[in-house]
Amino acid sequence: MKVLVTGGAGFIGSNFVYYELKHHPEDEIVCLDKLTYAGNLETLKDAMNNPKFKFVKGDISDRDFIFDLFEKERFDIVVNFAAESHVDRSIEDPEIFVKTNVLGTTTLLDAVKKFGIKRFHQVSTDEVYGDLPLERKDLFFTEETPLHTSSPYSSAKAAADLFVLAYHRTYGLPVTISRCSNNYGPYHFPEKLIPLIISRALNDETIPVYGTGENVRDWLHVEDHCSAIDLIIRNGKDGEVYNIGGHNERTNLEVVKTILKALNKPESLITFVSDRKGHDLRYAIDPTKIETELGWKPKYTFDTGIPVTIEWYLNNREWWENIINGEYQNYYEKMYGDR
């Protein structure tokens, strides 16, 4: 089979490329990526010499380019990871989120429709469900939870999900959607919470915690997200949504303290800064459907996944130092300078 992975030079997409090359060596993988600030060819260097792997630079919202690529390559499966993915950036400048996350997805859907692809999988997020109250620990997002977004990022992802489902209902396209909780693991861009904590703590720099640090996220190791998507694209049912999560809810402050302790760094590095606008309180996934229908089981808990992730950042210092020493420095100044 020939699989198109869009956004494969980013965090989750690159982990998925490696997962597929390892678990399905018979398949061909084409990675398409625009190489925005979040895309990094260094991340894919171990795949570049694999004869089953090919990298193509391009934009999912560039219709002519996408149609030419689909005509030439004749993919069996398309997995769409490509997106603008950072909530804080979406609050600063929403427009590119509409262009990539919504228009990019509909452009891919049109190509899937024209070229008769067997499966289009949309990598979505639990953030499309909005948030849950902190004090109601009994509540979880199920696939039936109404979409109720908070940020420009999650709104653009929700809009894309609705188009994916509309193309299924209207044109009968063979689509699936997954909505996963927060990921962590190798190749995670250090603007996101966990790699930001690890990289700054290793450099003895302050750790900015938004508001009171009581917001809750449900954390999943990226390899478990990849194994879930792999199951869905091969065994999932057309038109279905699958929630992915492993019941690893932690407050942001718990996450920061766990990592500081593991690195033997003092809690005095924690600095409370002003809260994110519209900050979602709590995410929590009910993964019963994917567990019972597809037999998915995560390999890691938060307590086993965090130490291996820290070890990866210790062994791959050059990868993240190249990022934080580049244009990212200006981003950090702009976002945190007078917060």
Q: Which of ligand NAD, ligand TYD, none does residue 60 bind (CB under 5 to 8 Å by kind)?
A: ligand NAD
* Under 8 Å between Cβ of 282 and 132: yes
Site for ligand NAD in 163-222 (CB under 6 A): 180, 182-183, 189
Torsion of CA 306, 17, 38, 121, to 10 degrees: -100
Q: State the nearest-atom distance from the C-beta of 271 to ligand TYD, in Å.
A: 10
Which of 4, 69, 87, 111 lies at the binding interface for ligand TYD (CB under 6 A)? Answer: 87
Is residue 196 near ligand TYD by the rule CB under 6 A? Answer: yes
Is residue 90 near ligand TYD by the rule CB under 6 A? Answer: no
Nearer to ligand NAD, 33 or 230 (CB): 33
Taking residues 70 to 109 in sequence order and writing x for each that binds ligand NAD by CB under 6 A, - otherwise, the string is -----------xxxxx--------------x---x-----
- For 258-271, b where at least 16 C-beta lie within 10 A, e where not — what string? bbbeeeebeeebbe
Q: State the nearest-atom distance from the C-beta of 94 to ligand TYD, in Å.
A: 15
Torsion of CA 314, 318, 323, 324, to 10 degrees: 60
* Under 8 Å between Cβ of 132 and 281: yes
Nearer to ligand NAD, 165 or 269 (CB): 165
Is residue 60 near ligand NAD by the rule CB under 6 A? Answer: yes
Is residue 119 near ligand NAD by the rule CB under 6 A? Answer: no
Residues 6+ apart with CB under 8 A from 336: 208, 273
Q: How far apart (Å, rounded) are the C-alpha atoms in residues 247 and 302?
A: 9
Which residues are catalytic, by number?
126-127, 153
Bridge partners (DSSP) listed for residue 219: 182
Q: How far apart (Å, rounded) are the C-alpha atoms in residues 106 and 80?
A: 11
Q: How far apart (Å, rounded) are the C-alpha atoms in residues 40 and 216?
A: 29
Q: Measuring CA to CA, which residue among 338, 299, 322, 267 is closest to residue 37? A: 322
Kindly indicate which of the ranges 21-29, 206-214, 237-245, 320-328 contains the residues binding ligand TYD, using the contact rule CB under 6 A: 206-214
Size of the site for ligand NAD (CB under 6 A): 30
Which of 3, 4, 5, 13 lies at the binding interface for ligand NAD (CB under 6 A)? Answer: 13
Q: How far apart (Å, rounded) are the C-alpha atoms in residues 126 and 92?
A: 21
Is residue 227 near ligand TYD by the rule CB under 6 A? Answer: no
Is residue 244 near ligand TYD by the rule CB under 6 A? Answer: no
User: Residue 318: which H helix or E strand, with range?
Assistant: helix 317-324
Which residues of this chain interact with ligand NAD, rule CB under 6 A? 6-7, 9-13, 33-36, 38-39, 59-61, 81-85, 100, 104, 123, 125, 157, 180, 182-183, 189
Which residues of this chain interact with ligand TYD, rule CB under 6 A? 87, 182, 192-193, 196, 208-210, 215, 217, 252, 276
